[in-house]
Each structure stands twice: as C-alpha cells, then as structure tokens.
Structure 1
Amino acid sequence: MEKNNVIYSTRINDDFTNGRELLKNLKNNVTIFGSARTKQTNLYAMKAQKLAYLLAKEGINIITGGGDGIMQAANRGAFKAPVGESVGLSIDLPFEQSVNPYTTKQLTFNYFFSRKYMLVKYSKACVIFPGGYGTLDELFEVVTLTQTGKMRDGFRVYLVGSEFWQDLMKFIENTLVNEKMIDPGDLDIIKVIDDIEVIKEEILNIC
C-alpha cells in the first residue's frame, strides 16, 4: 500500500512538474476543448480549425487535450500557422487516440485532474466546442474556477454552437438561477457565440 502511495505521489508530481516546464515560458495562450469523436469534416471541427489558425497566426498559442476530433482540428489549424505553438496535453485512454500529429509541443499526463488544471492554468481564454462527458467536465471545471476567482483576471469562457448548448443554457438560466444555486451574475462567466471572428477579436484584445 505504501509503495502504491509513493508511485501515485511521484506520478502526480511528474504531471505538474513536466506541465509547468512545458508551458511556463509560453505567453498568450488559449485553450480549446471539444469532442474527440467529431469527424474533421464536421462543421464544428472546421470552425475549431479556422479559429485556431486565425489566433495562431497572430502569435496566440493553442492548447488542446491533444486527441482526435475537435482537438485535432484545433491543433491542425495552429500547426499550419507560422507563429503560434500548437500544444497537446494528452492522456492515455483505452478507446481514444492519445496524441494527434499536429502538435509542436506535447505531453502525456498520468491523471485527468492534473491534466485539466494544466490545460487552463496558463491560458487567458477557453473556447469550448460541442462534446460529451469529458467536454462537459472541462466546461464546469473552468466555470467553477472562474466563479471562485481561481483563474486570472479577465479570463473568458466561450461556448461555440448555440444550438448544441441551448438546452444546457436553459437549465442553467431557468433552474440553477431560479433555485438560487448560482447568482444571476454567474451567467456572465459564459458567452455563447458562433461567430469565430468576434471570438478572435475579443481574445486579441486581452492578449
């Protein structure tokens, strides 16, 4: 049992130490989340690729979970740009590819919690495209960190795909607020938007 605890602690330490070393000198970072199962021809994947390219060519580094789908699309866009870095922070999973080939910097993590933290620790904004449980987990993690003041001042959270997110936003607005589970002002943490040109301009203004 003690040996297992030592291994566990060592792996956690490796995740945070290696993550800091990889990211500490990168400025003006944006994290893009989204499904690993989305085909590259999907509308949202193509939007993720375009947004990443537009940001990266302005010197913004793109950070993703390093996997397939939306993540690969975003890394592909950043990879094509001449300036910004394309960063993939991946994790080994039995049912999904761990690392896509469009990263200029990459690291594989041992644990989800350390990976999630490093995915947003050095970023100034987070753009979240449609996805499943993992994407929802990342969404609510970053919203909670923002709500509780754990993110840097001015941190932005964007949801791309108004049709996809509309039922979730109705639940947040009509149930969480009405039941006083969150304050009305907490709604301002999230911006639902489909126009990636507007997202680009807003992010450039804070970077």
Structure 2
Amino acid sequence: MRIKSLFLAATLGLGALSLPATAMAEEVFDAPVATRQANERGLQTAIFAGGCFWGIEGVFSHVRGVTSAVSGYHGGSANTATYRQVSAGGTSHAEAVRVTYDPSVVRYDQLLQILFSVGADPTLVNRQGPDRGSQYRSAIVPVTAEQRAVAQAYVRQMGASGVWRSPIAARVESYQRFYPAEADHQDYMLNNPTSGYIRRWDAPKVAALRTQFPSLYRERFRTG
C-alpha cells in the first residue's frame, strides 16, 4: 500500500489538525533563473511531474498567467492510466500536471523555476515527500522543440548552480500522451483543504510560492 494512503488513513476525520512548525513540505530552494527563454506566443501547454500531482496542480493553479492545471498521468499506456494502477507502481506513468499558460504573463522558464523552487526537490530519485516509487519521479515533459531546448539547458544550469548538495535527478522526458486523472483528483487541494496530507505536504508549497514569487502569485481558480 502506498505511503500516502497510509498517511491519509491515519489523519482522516481529525478536522483542525495541529501540526508542528517544523512540518514543512520539502526544503524550499532558490532555484536559479533560467539563462534561456522560450520564444512563445499565444496560450501554451507544459507538462511537469514532481511527486503527488495534488501539490503540483495546487501550486500552478496559484500562478498568474496559468489558465488551466490538470492532474493526470504521463509516460505509460492508456490501459494503465488509472489512479489505482499508477499508485501501485510498474506502469511507467508518472503522476503529472498539464499546465496551460499565457507566456505574455508567465514564461516557460519561470514555470520551471517555480517547479523546482517550491514544487519539488529535483535531487530526489523516484520520491517526493512521503511518496515512493517511479510514479513520483521529477520530470519535465517538453511538448515543443523550443521547450525541450530550454528544459535541457535549465537542468544543466541547476546542476552547475551549487544550490543543491546532491546531484540533479530530474529528467527531461519525451512527450507521449497525457491522460487526465479521475474527477476526484482534480482541484484536490481546493476541495480538501483540511486533509492531513494536504496540510502537511502541499499547503506549505503554496505558502512558499506566495513568499518567493509574490509578483506571480494569485488566488487560485477552479480548474474544473
């Protein structure tokens, strides 16, 4: 059984759960600003993976210029693109988020910086927070050649920056098909604000977004 399920079972029904001040999602980093930017116009799509999709969707739904953030699965086949199968492991899928954004408001390289500053630790191999398995890997999935060039340059830049004490494990993966997750996994943070898992692991990411990127932070929208 996945660790997230165990954590949820232990905290269901606790209501106003009191957490210690040290209960942060992940260490917050000051990820480097990308030296290369994508030349994009009009609404664009990006796909990111960084552990449980609840938190990544929650973070990007608070970013100015993002018009949609959809939780889903990427990297495997259609017949295994279900929460039950992906969370059990062995499907090649990663829990991922498809982000639609306006590059005149927020650029692709800024989305990468947000992902690895407050969304996910790029040095962790097949895990984030309490979740373990390749389905929780950190990955950038470019959907255009321009995005791929920026993503590859940014991963190299992160490795050379000295910000992280461990090697960068985040990968740039080839785009396959993105499969939206089931309805109850969309807007999960919005719909489950008192969940113990959300409060412990994901709400601090949104708080860090507000602190580190005030000019890009906005109150969230309902993606559904």
Q: Structure 1 or 2: larger helix share?
A: 1
TM-score, normalisation: structure 1: 0.32
Higher relative contact order, structure no. (Cα contacts within 8 Å, ≥ 6 residues apart)? 2
TM-score (norm 2): 0.30
